[in-house]
Structure 1
Amino acid sequence: MFVRQHLKNIASVSLTTVLSRITGLIRDVVFFATIGANAFSSAFIIGFTIPNLFRRLFGEGALSSAFIPVFSSLSEKFSMASALNFFRNFILRWSLYLTLIALLTTALLQLGALMGYIPDRWILPVKIFQSLMPYMVFICMAAIVSGALNVFGRFLSASFAPVLFNCVFIAALLLGVYFSEGESGILLWLCGAVLVGGLVQLLLPAYDLYRQSRGLVLGSEQMISKAESIGRTFSPDDEQAAFKSFWSLFIPSLLGAALLQINILVSRLLAHSLDDTSVSFLYVSSRLMELPLGIFTLAIVTVFFPEMSRAFVDQSRSVFSEIAHRGMHCIVLIVLPATLGLCLLSREILMVLFQWGQFNVSNVQATAPIVVIYALALPFHSIATFCVRCFYSAKSMTVPVRISLVLLLLNTILSLIFMSIWGVYGLALANLIAAILHAQLLLSATTKAFSISLVRGLKPILKPMLFGMAAIAIICILGKFFLAYCNLSEKLSAMWAIVTLIPLSACSYFFVLHRLGIANQQIWELLRQQK
């Protein structure tokens, strides 16, 4: 039963995440095909980046990471009814906090613009940012609701909501092209689409949570009393203690998440200071890296994080260690071959996905090296993400915060130095070095804090995995040589490479693992042993 449920959860999260990433790529393809890599696209990316950083900072980052362990602990110690009563008060408070933050930020930016403190180059990004502030409120509330659903063991609606957002965005792009004249008119349509899409992302999981809780979110006192008659009474003092526990987790987690997200913001702001195209090149490269990161890493982390939180609440260190090792194995077995494939086929992927309309061949040639650099950082980002969640599940935030502070300073210094030498490629290289050090420091900290070596447990799977990756490299390299002699156009050759080489490489990789006994032993057992 447990095996089937875990398989179902990971499958549902992975499937909907795949749909989200695919529709997100379609969204970006249509965006760059209609607007191109220029000042308008850079302005929208910068303006949309900041609300997105708030989403990752408060919603998917510090806020949800601190909320899930507290909510899970209340459901275990008292009852789900008590936990949902806490949830009701929690989300009401945070809706007020976030609304005040949005209003204050908008007012301060407007004041700065009126007083002439904002340079002309930054006026349009600031206006877009101001118009998108309500999206920050919607998406952060959606992340809290999704966290409660994850503890319920429900993942589908929350992971499917971004698909609807992307569909709304694409529809607005097409309507904007038809009804507007010029890029500025299209940007207005896109700002409206972001707000509508954010509201949809909130309403869908909220309705699912309402159905799952059977009205407990609304505070049915009769059902709460009935549920709590089974166990210990959930008193106002317990609720205050829960809020105190949340704040003790949230504050250091907020600092850690802020430092990580500031790295992203710093890179894009520095890129915008270079020219009108660098932001677009960095954005496209990060989107291609986020495809496997979102499909595989975040899907695995989403499923394993509540399990690790419950294991730590139950003070079962052995179970916690087993779950952590299994999650790490899943990440390494999937992310490393994905990294290799992205490096080998970066130019072909860019040509097929983005070389349309206003995004031309020269843009592809300029972006391809950045994609390779970002791809090399993918496994380190994945490892760091999982290690941070290990600390979050144990309600220990200090170490990730300290490491993030070091990495923020390092990334900023390296970005300024490398940018002056290699331009936008220097920014990408600085991010790669920071990602490597981030993963290394977190792995060492995880070993010290939990007395587990996530790397040492990988030794049995490394040799078969390397054979599988060798098969991927052979197929991709020989396949590209073969297509080069077929007298096809570059675009058609790239399409054939994507359609044939990616499936063949994936099949060969898993075939090698299966023949060497790794597929059954290290993938399915990871889930089968979680009982």
Structure 2
Amino acid sequence: MSDSQSIKSRSLLRSGLLVSICTFASRILGLARDAALAYVLGASAGADAFYVAFKIPNFFRRLFAEGAFAQAFVPVLSDYRVNEGHDAVRELIAAVTGSLTLVLLAVAAVFMAASPWVVYVFAPGFADNTGQLALASSLLTITFPYLLFISLTALAGGILNAHGEYGVPAITPIFLNISLLVATLGFASSATQAELSIAWGVFAAGVVQLLFQVPFLARLKLLPKPKIGFSHPGVKRILLLMGPALFGVSVGQINLLLDTVLASLLETGSITWLYLSDRLYELPLGIFAIAISTVILPSLSRSFSSQSAERFASTLDWGLRLLLLIAVPSAIALCILAKPIIATVFYRGELTAHDVDMAAMSLQAYSIGLVFMMLIKVLAPGYYSRQDTKTPVKIGLIAMAANMVFNLILVWPLGHVGLALATSLSAGLNALLLWIGLHRDGSHRFSKQWWLMLRVLLLGSAFLLAWLWFYHSLNITWTEISSWQRVQHMALVVCVGVLVYGLGLLLAGLRMRHLRAQD
């Protein structure tokens, strides 16, 4: 490896580490935010109304700002930066900013004016409760402008990332959690209408996230002077690329939308219970699976570009083995410790013991599919690295259809737990189909190290299970002890669990050299 390649590799490693640390900090603050929300709102009709009003702009954020737009904008911007020069980049940014702002203002105006109908589409079950529907509509008129601010924030983040400034966009999401913590604990806890104060916290978060990035754009001399530019060649290219990207991203978001729609038809609190359990299973998914996915994609791309099929298959196999070492114990822990975890993080204030039980059941249902959800994050890059975006979309559509069928079958006998279980089953189907496609064309082959890996996983998991079942047999009533006692118990069970699992791995023969990738 040349000196320049070595420097670049170290730089990418530092950037990846910085992003991982910021992501971890954001996730932890996110849990604190959700604990504060549960403390103030509980699982009431008002809580369900707020979560729907919060989910709607977030639905479009994931679909548009952080999904289709980001995937289309960054490649075009990078091309302009390499081939057109700084002035052309400034012109492109100005045209994109003006055009994007105009579209978002129009969308926000329409959705805010039609908020009762928008809420009805996302949560038709609220129609039976006119007060809840009216509250959710009012909250939506406050929260929906967040889409405008966060989309412009995504635009700014794309510009900074394209110019090697990874830290600022990674830090930015933290401000949403801080803003909601301030709004919830500083204002909502003493307000007559707590949900309204928290909704204004969402609005403020959008403004703060956008303003935070402005000085860094100015330092790069890329602070835009917006102008309408739909006829600009770069804007046209972005719109062209957004079509298939929007279609691909929409698969997962439609599943989330259907879950919310069906949950609104269930008993009061169902939306909140699903939200709380969803936040906890997203923690290992967001930190570990995405980190491994981020590391593995460039390596797979290099192997594909150099036509090294053997190295491609070896790298993918390494990613799967490493992921399972984290995913399997995470799933076991979430399943067995579902109630203790929910109680430790969320049980205080307005949240009741019944809410803890209900959220714990949906967390157990989610834990069944956690391994599959994490595997998808490693299997999908096996296609993207070969510039094959069609196959994952086709498989995603099959999984989406299956999820809808599972939802409709399971929601009536199992309620909100059925919705979580349907998500797990469809994730299993998605992961299986992704792997079959890669295995069929030789992109993945099981190495000899899988015999060691199976032995290691079995013994490590057995040790972990024995410890968790022992602690479970102590019959601690988690909702009857103090918050501090819950934290102490949880710290003990987690720390000992990590040590016991690690001991099992070592006794089974796992060594550090087995964790290294061959690139």
Report the TM range for the smaller structure's normalisation.
0.7 to 0.9
* Contact 2:455-2:508 within 8 A present in 1 as well: no
1:272-320 Cα distance to aligned partner (Å, 9 max, x none): 11121111111111011111111222333345556666877x6666576
Q: Which residue of 1 aligns with 2:497?
A: 505
Do the aligned partners of 2:402 and 2:426 also contact (CA within 8 Å) in 1? yes
Please list, as runs of the form range in 1=range in 2, the aligned pairs for 1:131-150 lying within 5 A after superposition.
131-150=142-161
1:172-191 Cα offsets, whole Å, 9 max, x none, are 1123245422xxx2112111
Change (3 A) 1:360 1:295: same
Alignment of 1:157-196 (within 5 A): 157-177=168-188, 179-181=190-192, 185-196=193-204
Of residues 200, 217, 228, the one that matches 2:208 is 200
TM-fit CA distance, 1:102 = 2.1
Equivalent-residue separation in structure 2 for 1:515 and 1:69 (angstroms): 47
The aligned counterpart of 1:49 is 55
Residues in 2 aligned to 1:165 and 1:511: alpha-carbon distance in whole angstroms: 39
Contact 2:457 2:505 survives alignment (8 Å): yes
Q: Output the TM-score relative to the length of structure 2.
A: 0.83
Supply the AA of the counterpart residue of 1:498: M
CA contact (8 A) 1:168 1:196 kept: yes
1:430 to 1:209, Cα distance in 2 relative to 1, 3 A: same
Q: Is the 8 A contact 1:55 1:139 kept in 2?
A: yes
Post-superposition offset of 1:136: 0.9
Match of 2:374 among 377, 382, 386: 382
- Taking the aligned partners of 1:429 and 1:420, their CA distance within structure 2 comes to 12
Counterpart AA for 1:203: L
Deviation at 1:448, TM superposition (A): 5.4
1:476 has 2:468 as partner: yes
Over the matched positions of the two proteins, sequence identity in percent amounts to 28
| TM superposition shift of 1:355 | 1.2
Q: Deviations over 1:305-348 (max 9, x none)?
A: 56666877x66665766665554444333222222221121111
Which secondary structure state, in structure 1, belongs to the residue aligned with residue 43 of structure 2? Answer: coil
Change (3 A) 1:216 1:355: closer
Moved more, 292-301 or 118-127: 118-127
The 3 A distance-change label for structure 1 pair 218 and 39 is closer
Q: Deviations over 1:190-249 (max 9, x none)?
A: 1111111122223334544554xx325659xxxxxxxxxxxxxxxx9xx83x65654454
Closer, same or farther: CA 74–177 of 1 in aligned 2, 3 Å:
closer
424, 435, 459: which one pairs with 1:432? 424
Distance change (3 Å), C-alpha of 1:168 and 1:216: closer
Distance 2:511 2:366 in 1: 28
Q: Corresponding residue for 1:28?
A: 34
Given candidates 268, 275, 279, the residue that maps to 2:260 is: 268
Q: Matched residue of 2:466: which SS?
A: helix
Structure-2 separation of matches of 1:48 and 1:509: 38
Q: Does 1:62 align with 2:73?
A: no
Separation (CA, whole Å) in 2 of partners of 1:316 and 1:93: 41
Q: Give the structure 2 partner of residue 255 of structure 1.
A: 247
Cα distance in structure 2, aligned partners of 1:464 and 1:337: 12
- Structure 1 pair 328/269, CA: closer, same or farther in 2 (3 Å)? same
Name the counterpart of 1:39. 45
Deviations along 1:499-519, whole A, 9 cap, x unmatched?
Answer: 112122223434554666645
Q: 1:326 to 1:138 in 2, by over 3 A?
A: farther
Contact 1:149-1:155 at 8 Å conserved across structures: yes
Asked if structure 2 preserves the Cα contact closer than 8 Å seen for 1:81 and 1:216, the reply is: no
Label 1:245 to 1:63 Cα distance change in 2 as closer, same or farther (>3 A): same
> RMSD between aligned alpha carbons?
3.6
Q: 1:74, 1:82 within 8 Å by CA — same for their partners in 2?
A: yes
1:3-40: CA deviation from partner (whole Å, max 9, x where unpaired): 54444333322222222111111111111111110100
Name the aligned partner's letter for residue 438 of structure 1.
N
What residue ranges of structure 1 are gaps of 5+ in the alignment? 220-235
Secondary structure at 1:194's aligned position in 2?
Answer: helix
Shift of residue 398, structure 1, vs aligned partner: 2.4
Q: Distance in 2 between matches of 1:216 and 1:186?
A: 40
Task: Provide Cα deviations, 1:146-194, integer angstroms capped at 9, x if missing partner.
Answer: 344444454332222222211111111123245422xxx2112111111
Maintained 8 Å contact 2:116/2:134 = no
**Cα distance in 1 between the residues matched to 2:159 and 2:308:** 24
Gaps of 5+ in 2: 1-6
Q: How does 1:205-354 map to 2 (within 5 A)?
A: 205-211=213-219, 214-216=220-222, 240=233, 246-302=238-294, 304-305=296-297, 324-354=316-346
**Do the aligned partners of 1:145 and 1:205 also contact (CA within 8 Å) in 2?**
yes
